[in-house]
Homo-oligomer: A and B are copies of this chain.
Amino acid sequence: MQNRQWKLISRPVGLVKRSDFEFVATPVGEPGPGEVLVKVQYISLDPAMRGWLNDSPSYIPPVGLGEVMRAGGIGAVVASNAPSLAVGDTVTGLTGVQEYAIFNAGAINTLLMMKVDPQLAPLPRYLGALGLTGISAYFGLLDICAPKQGETVVVSGAAGAVGSVAGQIAKIKGCRVVGIAGGPEKCRYLVDELGFDAAIDYKNEDVRAGLEKHCPRGVDVYFDNVGGDILDLVLEQIARNARISICGAISQYNNLETVQGPKNYLSLLLNHARMEGFVVFDYAARTGEALKDLRGWVAEGKIKPREDVVEGIDTFPETLNKLFTGENFGKLVIKVAAA
């Protein structure tokens, strides 16, 4: 049995290219003691993956040259040498971009590996609103920003996986929510389907004017997925005691130049405001708390999850780039086996 894998062979400059990887088939391994073999069904595409390709220190080591590309995923246990998992169980974890993954079952019930019930939700949702994506939105908004009822919350990358959940959680908390997204279709979706109070189409509208119009009392909370110019425009319009959650900076990840720092950061001084960053792994110990709320909100229809499924593991490099060109809509995943 063969395992098709995407391995990194050179460090990308800007958007990834197919030639930065090799797509190889190797024999499927045997799970050792305490391990399970998982047939990967869906792979999660996340902006952070671009950072893992750079040879620079970060919260986890970069993907090494010659290594299988790191990624989250979900699949079924097809062989088990661990008492805690049986053949047929469905698990999420860092599968990598490959058809088969071997996990040490000792990591079960951590952020790195969760057993989930495939009957309760479509599998891709466990990579999205009911997975690390939802958990990121949950803590990045609630723990970092503590939004209060009636406050104005702005979310960038608002039609993306994390942003769309963060905005919906802010609505649940009684906030006025303004999304920033690219294109009229995404903006309509935010307002008409997700119940955002307003949306600003950064590709076709003046973002400064949009913020002035939709945030007349200033921005109390900003959940930032994009960085760059939009972060600076929001900094111009923060309210006193504003909180900014730095979840990501997708506009900067493929930069050929240095990262663009927020030139308006002194607005933090003028407004007694703060900017705080996080990664989801910071909250590993509190996963249960988030998932309990997220499951409830999805069940009640207060969070409407959306997944954007691309078929075929062979599409990996181009599919990853969709995150950075703004082509995805909701949680982007690859369905490993094409239809």
By a beta-carbon cutoff of 8 Å, the part of chain A in contact with chain B is 58-59, 227, 232, 246-249, 252, 258-279, 282
Contact = CB atoms under 8 A, between A and B. Distances in A.
A331 to B, nearest CB: 20
Contact of A277 (B232, B248, B262, B273): B273
Given A261-B260, A261-B263, A262-B261, A279 B273 contact: no
A232 B59 CA distance: 18
Interface of A is mostly: loop
A96 B275 CA distance: 34
B276 A274 contact: yes
A232 B248 contact: no
Contacts of A246: 265-266, 268-269
A259 B266 contact: yes
Contacts of A268: 246, 275-277
Given A270-B58, A270-B59, A275 B282 contact: no
A269 B278 contact: yes
A282 B241 CA distance: 10
A299 to B, nearest CB: 30
Given A261-B264, A262-B262, A274 B272 contact: no
Contacts of A264: 259, 261
B272 A266 contact: no
A266 to B, nearest CB: 6
Contacts of A276: 268, 272-275
A330 B272 CA distance: 25
